[in-house]
Chains A and B, each alone.
Chain A
Amino acid sequence: MLIKELTDLNGVSGNEKEVRDFIKDKINNFCDTIKIDSIGNIIAYKKGINSKFKVMLSAHMDEVGFIVSGHTDKGFLKFKPVGGIDDRILPGKRVLVGKKRLCGVIGSKPIHQQEKDEREKISKVKNLYIDIGAESKDEAEKLAPLGEFISFDSEFIEFGKNSIKAKALDDRVGCAVLIEALKNSFEFDLYACFTVQEEVGLRGAQVAAYNVMPDVALVIEGTTCADVPNVEPYEYSTIQGNGAALTIMDRTCICDKELVQFLHDVAVKNNIKVQYKQTTSGGNDSGQIQRTGTGVKTASISVPCRYIHSPVSVMSRSDYESVERLTIAALNQMSKNKDFLKSLSKLTSGKEQLTK
């Protein structure tokens, strides 16, 4: 399964090569050119039948993880998070260090050595360390030099009727959708951008979008899902099993209203389950893409992921399928209905405004 293959790869922000090489190989036969830009994005171009418009699909290849920041005298690794990670989930987790995937575990001071107030507090990253079985500082430095990237070690598992657990669902699900989309042909020019460094500040997408200067962009993502105990329904953000999640507004972007409505209509028409994301927190590449050049009509379609940014992200297979189907159905609809693309991409001309 494509998502299994993708989530088994390690690609912490700034170190996406493994993912990039895999994707390049997968899409090679389905596009006209593949460009790797200076920051490391893949920009896969598929010429349209009647290429008047440029549509950009975007999914980020990177995942949250860690980086080696020091070594103790006894050979433990000190580390820093790369991207947003909840400190509470760290103690006791397995990690993979560096290209050779050295086994490591995140440890902390044993509970019976902790003072009462220490027990009640959450262990901060600075008080944690990674044990890679090294016996000295020298050995640790050799095995895991400063700056080495570290990923969660977590297997892809299918469980229950419809659930999948893995690390890095955010945003390998998006990568999978882009790979599938490239297998289709459209009227417009399609640019599938697999971006880097989203988790540390939407960095790759900024240059990818500048390069492409698209008329329309769809960002395919894994997003937060808080439909769990002790959360009020109005705080759920998305609901697992309720289908593809459309963003109206988040911290980085107010999505193009017309485009969001279009996506919703396409979903309804094709019997694809769809929901609106019901909180305005979080952000993704759409924030950067939207404000590129003279502006890009942008929207995002996401797979709800519980426990996102952890080694045990959980999603529903049917939600993934909804996102994949909706993305491709929307592209097909844009392909058929050129007037829609035209209305989105058009700068309303001076004359038209003046005579209105």
Chain B
Amino acid sequence: MLNFIFIRKLAVFFMMICPLAVYAEEQAASKPEAEEAVKPESFPPKDSPAAAIIRGETAFKRYCILCHGVNADGKGRAAKNYDPKPANLRASDKNTIYKTMIVTKGGAAMGRSAFMPQWSEELTKEQITDVVTYLNSIAEHPPKD
């Protein structure tokens, strides 16, 4: 009789434990996938051109689209206020050094529109390089330098 009670208790115990074990197994199986989605290896290395393009696009879309537009075609929402109109950066034939200088020093220093701000006061050198790298990546005729 005592054995029967013990076996019944054991059976109840296993019935309770089994669903928990299955749940734990499912969680363990799904965990690697979740971790894989945010694995640092899935992002380009910090110093790679791919990373510079991502950072440059972010900076461009924060600081430049007002005038140059989200497509960098010179059709930003403020473009109507300016004469000369903001440059179509996709169609630009300027090289990397020129682009870096005009972003850094502003339009007036380069004999262009005085409405182009001197971005060295707001952006770091790395951010300016990133923005230029992004612009080169979307240019219709990427500079060869």
Say whether A associates with B. Answer: no
